Structure 1
Amino acid sequence: MSTSLYIRTYILRFLQTLGRYCDLYLSTPLPRGPAFTRRIKSTVGDSPGEFELLFYTPPGYEKLGKEEKLPLLVNFHGGGYTIGNAADDARFITTIQRRTPCLAVSISYRLAPSHPFPIGITDCVTSLLYLWSHSTELSIDPSLTILTGFSAGGQFCYTSSYLLHSELSKSTSIQIPNPNPNPTPLPQNSKEKESQAPGKIVGICTFYAPTNWTLTRLERAQSNPLTQPLSSLPGLFFPLFETAYFHPYAPSSLDFSSPLLSPGLAPDELVREALPENLCLMTCEWDSLLVEGEVFRERLRGLGKRVEGYVVRGVPHGWDKWPSWWWGGGDRRRDEAYKFVGERVREFWGVG
Structure 2
Amino acid sequence: MALDPQAKALLDMVYRVGAPRFHELDVAQARHSFEKLQFALRPEMPAVASVTDVPIPQARAADGVIMARLYRPLSAGPDEILPLTFYFHGGGWCIGNITSHDVLCRELANHSKAAVLSVDYRLAPEHPFPAAVDDALRAVQWSLANAGMLGIDPTRFALAGDSAGGTLSAVTALAQRNAQGPRAALQLLIYPSTDILSQRPSRREFANGYMLDTGSLTWFFEKYLPEEDDWQDWRASPIRAARFDGLPPALIITAGCDPLSDDCKAYGEVLREAGVPVEMLEFEGMVHGFITLGKFFSQANEAVLQAGEALGRAFAAGGAS
TM above 0.5, yes or no, is yes
TM-score category of the 2 structures, normalised to the smaller one: 0.7 to 0.9
- The structure-2 alpha-carbon separation of the partners of 1:14 and 1:61, relative to structure 1 and needing over 3 Å to count, comes to same
Question: Aligned letter for 2:28?
Answer: Y
Match of 2:8 in 1: none
| 1:257-336 alignment, distance < 5 Å | 257-268=232-243, 271-273=244-246, 275-276=247-248, 278-322=249-293, 324=295, 331-336=297-302
1:19-50: CA deviation from partner (whole Å, max 9, x where unpaired): 233245xx4x3234771102222228x99342
Separation in structure 1 between the aligned mates of residue 37 and residue 308 of structure 2, nearest angstrom = 24
- The structure-2 alpha-carbon separation of the partners of 1:289 and 1:229, relative to structure 1 and needing over 3 Å to count, comes to same
Choose 54-63 or 291-300, whichever is displaced more: 54-63
Residue 118 of structure 1, CA deviation: 0.4
Equivalenced residue count is 295
Which of residues 34, 52, 56 in structure 2 aligns to 1:36? 52
Residue 272 of structure 1, CA deviation: 1.1
- The structure-2 alpha-carbon separation of the partners of 1:22 and 1:231, relative to structure 1 and needing over 3 Å to count, comes to closer
Separation in structure 1 between the aligned mates of residue 203 and residue 277 of structure 2, nearest angstrom = 26
- TM-score, length-scaled by structure 2: 0.82
8 Å Cα contact 1:227/1:286 also seen in 2: no
Residue 242 of structure 1, CA deviation: 1.8
Mapped pair 1:75 → 2:87 = yes
Residue 199 of structure 1, CA deviation: 4.4
Larger radius of gyration: 1
Match of 1:229 in 2: 209
Mapped pair 1:343 → 2:309 = yes
Match of 1:22 in 2: 40
Match of 2:6 in 1: none
In structure 2, list runs of 5 or more residues that go unmatched: 1-22
- The structure-2 alpha-carbon separation of the partners of 1:281 and 1:227, relative to structure 1 and needing over 3 Å to count, comes to same
Residue 61 of structure 1, CA deviation: 5.1
RMSD of the TM alignment (CA)?
2.9
- The structure-2 alpha-carbon separation of the partners of 1:222 and 1:99, relative to structure 1 and needing over 3 Å to count, comes to closer
8 Å Cα contact 1:224/1:286 also seen in 2: no
Separation in structure 2 between the aligned mates of residue 311 and residue 60 of structure 1, nearest angstrom = 29
Find the residue that maps to 1:310 and give its secondary structure: strand
| % same residue | 23
1:62-86: CA deviation from partner (whole Å, max 9, x where unpaired): 731xxx4210111000000000012
1:176-234: CA deviation from partner (whole Å, max 9, x where unpaired): xxxxxxxxxxxxxxxxxxxxxx744111011110111232xxx3566452444349959
- The structure-2 alpha-carbon separation of the partners of 1:258 and 1:243, relative to structure 1 and needing over 3 Å to count, comes to closer
- TM-score, length-scaled by structure 1: 0.75
Separation in structure 1 between the aligned mates of residue 164 and residue 174 of structure 2, nearest angstrom = 15
- The structure-2 alpha-carbon separation of the partners of 1:233 and 1:305, relative to structure 1 and needing over 3 Å to count, comes to closer
8 Å Cα contact 2:159/2:173 also seen in 1: no
| 1:1-352 alignment, distance < 5 Å | 8-24=26-42, 27=43, 29-32=44-47, 35-43=51-59, 48-59=63-74, 63-64=78-79, 68-166=80-178, 168-169=179-180, 199-215=182-198, 219-220=199-200, 223=203, 225-230=205-210, 235=215, 237-247=216-226, 249=227, 251=228, 253-254=229-230, 256-268=231-243, 271-273=244-246, 275-276=247-248, 278-322=249-293, 324=295, 331-350=297-316
1:62-112: CA deviation from partner (whole Å, max 9, x where unpaired): 731xxx421011100000000001233333333333333221100000000
Question: Aligned letter for 1:288?
Answer: P
- The structure-2 alpha-carbon separation of the partners of 1:339 and 1:309, relative to structure 1 and needing over 3 Å to count, comes to farther
8 Å Cα contact 1:142/1:200 also seen in 2: no
Find the residue that maps to 2:286 and give its secondary structure: coil
Choose 124-133 or 35-44, whichever is displaced more: 35-44
8 Å Cα contact 1:9/1:240 also seen in 2: no
